[in-house]
């Protein structure tokens, strides 16, 4: 899954795609590099990010979304706003990716209304909200609590008639988690993936700098991002949400060519169960 941020303030590439033409060139480049899905977002959810009005978020994404939907690739919209979800679904988007985990009554109403469609959903766990989530994250058992939340949401979706093959779950690395919380979740991807396909989004995040034991800017975290990507895939992750599509795709291709586990098929995970 290639990341396409149409925001001026995202933690890694904010402001770099300031026009629809630049955004489309980036999308086409990721597709050429082997992206299987494009994930489009118009509101930053980095720690401390300010909320923006609905119409501003829609202004940022509408034209680019219209153009990308004409390309032969599944498109995901990254939004927490039910009204944006509705508009994107009406345009023909394939996946709704909600970092707030469809917690609002309105978001769940949208899910219920999508029963007879084939639209997919990515449910992410986040403690708090982007404005405060990293102030003081606390858990008794982070893996159990994240698993409990995601399982509960999956059960809600089933109640609304959404089949399991339309659901992805995301542990929410860096969203209301300390480095230790992130590490604990990383080590239990295989556990989480037993109930539902897992999406992992660790590309260029702060944990890369911390694990590598060197200070680095987000754009200078490729090596560590690739390491967490291959680790996640080997543990059973089904989707990797990344900035660097070409490098990630090449890494996986070479890994398989060398006789590595058949990742993304479930077989690698079965060997570890």
Name the residue ranges covered by the structural domains of the chain. 2-201, 202-273
pLDDT of residue 134: 83
pLDDT band per the 50, 70, 90 thresholds, residue 15 = low
Please tell me the chain's helix, strand, coil percentages from 3-state DSSP, rounded to the nearest 5: 45, 10, 45
Query: pLDDT tens digits, residue range 127-170?
Result: 978 777 787 889 999 999 999 999 999 999 999 999 999 999 99
Query: pLDDT tens digits, residue range 216-228?
Result: 999 999 999 999 9
The CA dihedral of 5, 8, 11, 17, to the nearest 10 degrees, is 40
pLDDT of residue 74: 98
- Please report, rounded to a whole number, the percentage of residues in the chain having pLDDT higher than 90: 82
Collapsing DSSP to helix, strand or coil, 8 comes out as coil
Continuous segment of H or E residues that includes residue 252: helix 245-257
pLDDT of residue 268: 41
Beta-carbon contacts of residue 31 (< 8 Å; ≥ 6 apart): 2, 38, 71, 73
At which residue do the structure tokens 């070479």 appear? Answer: 254
pLDDT of residue 10: 57
Query: Pick the residue with more confidence: 246 or 130?
Result: 246
Q: What is the mean pLDDT of residues 190-197?
A: 94
Residues for the chain: how many in total?
Answer: 273
- Residue 216: phi and psi, rounded to 5, are -155, 150
The yes-or-no verdict on residue 69 having pLDDT over 80 is yes
At which residue do the structure tokens 């542990």 appear? Answer: 171
- Active-site annotation, residues: 205, 241
Collapsing DSSP to helix, strand or coil, 59 comes out as helix
Measured distance CA(81)–CA(78) in Å, rounded: 9
- Around Cβ 34, how many Cβ atoms within 10 Å? 14
pLDDT of residue 68: 96
The strand pair at 95-98 and 120-124 is best described as: parallel
pLDDT band per the 50, 70, 90 thresholds, residue 271 = very low
At which residue do the structure tokens 């082997």 appear? Answer: 34
Q: What is the mean pLDDT of residues 35-39?
A: 97
Homologous superfamily of 2-201 in CATH? Answer: Dihydropteroate synthase-like (3.20.20.20)
The yes-or-no verdict on residue 270 having pLDDT over 90 is no
Beta-carbon contacts of residue 229 (< 8 Å; ≥ 6 apart): 200, 202, 203, 240, 242, 248, 251, 252
DSSP 122-183: EEE--SS-TTTTTSS---SSHHHHHHHHHHHHHHHHHHTT--GGGEEEE--TTSS--HHHHH
């Amino acid at each position: 899954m290639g990341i396409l941020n149409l925001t001026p303030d995202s933690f890694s590439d904010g402001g770099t795609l300031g026009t629809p033409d630049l955004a489309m060139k980036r999308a086409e480049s990721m597709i050429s590099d082997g992206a299987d899905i494009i994930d489009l977002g118009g509101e930053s959810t980095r720690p401390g990010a300010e909320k923006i009005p609905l119409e501003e978020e829609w202004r940022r994404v509408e034209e680019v979304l219209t153009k990308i939907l004409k390309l032969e690739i599944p498109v995901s919209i990254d939004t927490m706003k039910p009204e944006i979800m509705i508009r994107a679904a009406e345009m023909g988007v394939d996946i709704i990716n909600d970092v707030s985990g469809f917690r609002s009554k309105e978001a769940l109403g949208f899910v219920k209304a999508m029963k007879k469609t084939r639209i997919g959903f990515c449910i992410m766990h986040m403690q708090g909200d982007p404005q405060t989530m990293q102030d003081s994250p606390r858990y008794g058992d982070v893996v159990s609590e994240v698993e409990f939340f995601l399982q509960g949401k999956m059960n809600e979706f089933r109640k609304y008639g959404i089949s399991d093959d339309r659901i992805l779950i995301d542990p929410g690395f860096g969203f209301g988690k300390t480095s230790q919380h992130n590490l604990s979740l990383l080590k239990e991807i295989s556990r989480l993936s037993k109930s539902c396909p897992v999406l992992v989004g660790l590309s260029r995040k702060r944990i890369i700098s911390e694990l590598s034991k060197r200070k680095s800017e987000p754009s200078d975290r490729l090596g560590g991002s690739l390491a967490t990507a291959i680790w996640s895939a080997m543990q059973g992750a089904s989707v990797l949400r990344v900035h660097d599509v070409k490098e990630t795709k090449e890494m996986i291709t070479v890994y398989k060519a060398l006789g590595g586990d058949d990742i993304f098929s479930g077989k690698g995970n079965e060997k570890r169960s």
